[in-house]
A and B are shown apart, each in its own frame.
Chain A
């Protein structure tokens, strides 16, 4: 099966669910990259380019939502979650308006554009906002269902999407998506890898490498970062001991932080956090960057082995 970027799945989902006339899509001069142009081709009268002015776009989204619209606002994650953070906080989250901030090009795998465009802090920032639901899907079907859930959810949602094509992790015919419920995608008894986004496919491969060494790792796809699924985490901690979090995000405050907050209060256990280690990114191909920052399957497996032995 071919690889599909979650941003592409987002554009297709918008077009698929776009018949609902309450849906309005805003973009900030990146509609070909964020893939909102896929929606625009079908519903041009409900797609509005707000130009290179992300702060204004978020507040305009709030105004539209106040009249009963379901508003999708898209740009790159760095400009959505960080440049327009305060607009999202005060104009969208505070009045709990129905705006879905769908941010593409998250993480290092933006690639050659380099550090200025590689958002590795968005999960930490967005998850700190009251009223915000934070989703981080890993493949095409999960993205489609996350977008459907975002439409059905009454209130603000942040959806983290990637530029890079990703493999299908879930079976599109049978996969069930439930907001706030992590998905066990591989059974295991020796440790549990909790991954999100692109890192789900890498973690599955890392689990295969570990299996060759006789280590049976459980893998959980944590598509909802907030609210985090405490139940699945506590169960995993009880059954497998060591928990390993893997994210294409800075090591501070993202998935790892959310998992530690949940476990430390409910079932304290050892957690190994794998992510970008307090560094900015660099230009390079996505594959070269994942290798350099220790986020491909081989590096993940290596770090888990070291943690297991420690």
Chain B
């Protein structure tokens, strides 16, 4: 990945992070921590990988995406809006009663959303279903899904893992947002799901571990997954919950809490400073 591409992706990611803060601030509720955590996975998928068409969101040959950790809808919506599926100003209606941007994603009325999710553990199963359909129809689309590291405490995730390996779904690539925190605290204290990579490997998946904030590493993992035949791939992404906003980083209190005006202002000013730094680097690069 060349430097300019990296900087462009960083710029997108920073814009998405700003929108995450604005969405949750406007709604006065929502999940900023996990959304900021998985932003770079979204950025890589939608701006460096996935075959999707904002003019034809239901194209039968498109790549699919399932947000298994549906509560990180702010990151999904911000990504889809920046990509052009719907107007960016609609993000400010998030979680409001007449908005189509529900607290958790609804496929029936949000352009670009391929599956309604929110109940943890189910999204990855639906992704298995989509990948199975791709095999049945001999289509070459790929299916992507993001899981939370707390989410994998759900038994259904392992049922889905078994099924994905059993049916040799090498068109399926999933990501675990491994930030180590869930609502009640550290994942290892609440209900330890570790060792995560070893568990998916034992279930018959190809497993790749990456820095979940390094777009190049994420992109390389996606490319490697495409070359692996006969098994699905799990990309274990080492992430920082709340990434990009100093006071939210590594603090589980920000799992499902909205910032107040002062906190929102500070978060936006930190992200603006980061954006200015990226812009400067882009200018120097040119």
Contact = CB atoms under 8 A, between A and B. Distances in A.
Interface of A: 24, 45-46, 48, 50-51, 53, 55-56, 58-69, 86-87, 90-91, 94-96
B163 A66 contact: no
Given A62-B129, A64-B133, A66-B126, A90 B166 contact: no
Given A58-B125, A63-B125, 7 more contacts: A53-B159, A55-B121, A56-B128, A63-B128, A66-B126, A69-B133, A94-B116
A96 B108 contact: yes
A119 to B, nearest CB: 21
A87 B60 contact: no
A219 to B, nearest CB: 40
Contacts of A95: 106-108, 115-116
Contact of A56 (B64, B114, B159): B159
Contact of A87 (B108, B122, B130): B122
Contacts of A65: 129
Contacts of A60: 125-126, 128-129, 132, 160, 163
B137 A67 contact: yes
A53 B131 CA distance: 18
A55 B156 contact: yes
Contact of B119 (A46, A56, A67, A90): A90
Contacts of A90: 116, 118-119, 122
Nearest to B167: A48
A63 B65 CA distance: 11
B162 interface: yes
Nearest to B157: A56
Given A51-B166, A66-B114, A91 B130 contact: no
A283 to B, nearest CB: 29
Given A59-B122, A90-B119, A67 B162 contact: no
A86 B119 contact: yes
Contacts of B126: 59-60, 62-63, 66, 91
Contacts of B128: 56, 59-60, 63
A90 B122 CA distance: 9
A59 B118 contact: no
B22 to A, nearest CB: 27
B244 to A, nearest CB: 31
B130 A64 contact: yes
17 contacts: A51-B166, A53-B159, A53-B163, A55-B122, A59-B129, A62-B125, A63-B115, A63-B125, A63-B126, A65-B129, A66-B64, A67-B137, A90-B116, A90-B118, A90-B119, A95-B106, A95-B115
